[in-house]
Amino acid sequence: MKETPLSNCERRFLLRAIEEKKRLDGRQTYDYRNIRISFGTDYGCCIVELGKTRVLGQVSCELVSPKLNRATEGILFFNLELSQMAAPAFEPGRQSDLLVKLNRLLERCLRNSKCIDTESLCVVAGEKVWQIRVDLHLLNHDGNIIDAASIAAIVALCHFRRPDVSVQGDEVTLYTPEERDPVPLSIHHMPICVSFAFFQQGTYLLVDPNEREECVMDGLLVIAMNKHREICTIQSSGGIMLLKDQVLRCSKIAGVKVAEITELILKALENDQKVRKEGGKFGFAESIANQRITAFKMEKAPIDTSDVEEKAEEIIAEAEPPSEVVSTPVLWTPGTAQIGEGVENSWGDLEDSEKEDDEGGGDEAIILDSIKMDTGVEVSDIGSQEMGFHHVGQTRLEFLTSDAPIILSDSEEEEMIILEPDKNPKKIRTQTTSAKQEKAPSKKPVKRRKKKRAAN
């Protein structure tokens, strides 16, 4: 496991807080984090939460052949897995030193302490015995893995039920839960591990260290004990020298904590068994229903409503009266009105792209007039032409004479010229542009026509 190193500033901050007997989560020196136990739908499945540290425990069983040196005893097997889901520092695919140490400590705590009657797991001596396998998966790592794992293991073993069997001669019959009720395991006592972290070479002591505190601790002492104050195993790591008084002090604290945790475990098992008998809802889904994002839960608190009216009258009397403001309507045009402040109407304003298009159309109209002046064809002077045409979307003037028709350039203006003999031409112009853009290109052509006529 590659732990994330702390900076010197963080390390000094944590050590100074410990010297002042303060912890980051607000606990006291000997306080445990909140413990929460939830059970799955199947027997032997549970999740234990120690603060933010979460461990999933699952117990399974199968009939196997016993060991040669212990033909009348069942087999207990413990397996703890540390995955990257719990913490990115854990390396997948290999057993780290921490994992080996935790597995050995669990075996000494649960198997070597004889907390389970292994002889009751024997079905046929020398032939068939029950192998009980306890798989522990660390779901989230926030320090003190061994305490959470030991609680999850003993809770899963207490909650587990193995199938019932019957032996007739050499024949072993295995019954399903529908045929016969499963049988619980025979458990003598419940050993639970309690961890103590030492700082400044044993000067300061903390119970149940979290991940940050484990990074700066000098040593760790783990004591496994049951509620009868019997020490099942003890382990010290970190290379610090502990005095006899310190070990005795830790053992007394462990006795108190183990009694509290054991009572919590028994109460959780009793509640689960009661719900199952009554046919209520149980399982992980029911245990996390109140932790949804949309859930909002607050503790009920009594509220005194006896003098609500008096307080309301006092607040109204002390409050300033509202200002009398009468909205005056704003008349923009006859037949319309506006109350309050509004935004100026921009319905008729043109966008930048439209303005550019309109300017381009005006330029084309100027070019068309200039071409007319250069060719010397005037609308008022034409009398011998028979007909003129204009097509929508394309300005096309054709003068049908004896010669070939003259086709002028295109323009966006819509123009129609009707030529009749011995009459003034009627000119009808339809424009799609605005009035402002009509006036702009019409100034220059007028001047040019005046100059042309003056020259003639």
For 149-193, the pLDDT digits (tens) are 999 999 999 999 999 999 888 888 888 888 888 999 999 999 999
270's tokens: 């009793």
pLDDT at 53: 93
User: Do residues 392 and 414 lie in contact, with contact meaning Cβ atoms separated by under 8 Å?
Assistant: yes
456: confidence class by pLDDT, cuts 50, 70, 90 = very low
The highest-confidence range among 171-185, 278-292, 391-405, by mean pLDDT, is 171-185
Q: At how many degrees (to 10) do helices 145-159 and 97-106 cross?
A: 40
Q: Where are the domains of the chain?
A: 57-279
Name the residue type at position 306: S
User: Do residues 228 and 113 lie in contact, with contact meaning Cβ atoms separated by under 8 Å?
Assistant: no
pLDDT at 145: 93
DSSP 3-state of 430? strand
pTM recorded for the entire structure: 0.62
CA distances from 361 to 18, 57, 394 (A): 82, 81, 12
pLDDT at 419: 56
pLDDT at 334 over 80: no
Stronger pLDDT, 31 or 381, i.e. the higher one: 31
Q: Do β-strands 53-64 and 219-225 pair in parallel, antiparallel, or remain unpaired?
A: unpaired
pLDDT 10s digits, 355-386: 555 555 555 555 545 555 554 444 444 444 44
Find, among 426, 429, 399, 431, the residue nearest to 415 by Cα: 429
Give the up-direction half-sphere exposure of residue 287: CA atoms within 13 A in the CB hemisphere: 17
Tell me the C-alpha distance between 218 and 203, whole Å.
10
170's tokens: 């050499």
User: Do residues 408 and 368 lie in contact, with contact meaning Cβ atoms separated by under 8 Å?
Assistant: yes
Tell me the C-alpha distance between 172 and 170, whole Å.
7
DSSP states of 344-364 as a string?
PP-SSPPPHHHHHHHHHHHHH
354: confidence class by pLDDT, cuts 50, 70, 90 = low
pLDDT at 250: 93
User: Do residues 157 and 134 lie in contact, with contact meaning Cβ atoms separated by under 8 Å?
Assistant: yes
User: Do residues 368 and 409 lie in contact, with contact meaning Cβ atoms separated by under 8 Å?
Assistant: yes
pLDDT at 297 over 70: no
pLDDT at 427: 47
229's tokens: 């104050």
Stronger pLDDT, 58 or 420, i.e. the higher one: 58
User: Do residues 265 and 154 lie in contact, with contact meaning Cβ atoms separated by under 8 Å?
Assistant: yes
pLDDT at 234 over 70: yes
Q: What is the mean pLDDT of residues 56-82?
A: 91
- What mean pLDDT, rounded, does the chain reach? 77
Stronger pLDDT, 296 or 175, i.e. the higher one: 175
Find, among 234, 230, 228, the residue nearest to 220 by Cα: 234
b/e map 187-207, b = 16+ CB within 10 Å? eebbbbbbbbbbbeebebbbb
What CATH architecture applies to the domain 57-279? 2-Layer Sandwich (3.30)
Q: Tell me what percent of the residues of the chain surpass a pLDDT of 70.
A: 67
Tell me the C-alpha distance between 215 and 143, whole Å.
9
Tell me the C-alpha distance between 235 and 238, whole Å.
10
455's tokens: 């020259």
Q: Which residues pair with 194 in a beta bridge?
A: 223
User: Do residues 196 and 250 lie in contact, with contact meaning Cβ atoms separated by under 8 Å?
Assistant: yes
Q: Tell me what percent of the residues of the chain surpass a pLDDT of 90.
A: 33
CA distances from 252 to 30, 51, 148, 201, 249 (A): 12, 23, 20, 21, 5
pLDDT at 61 over 80: yes
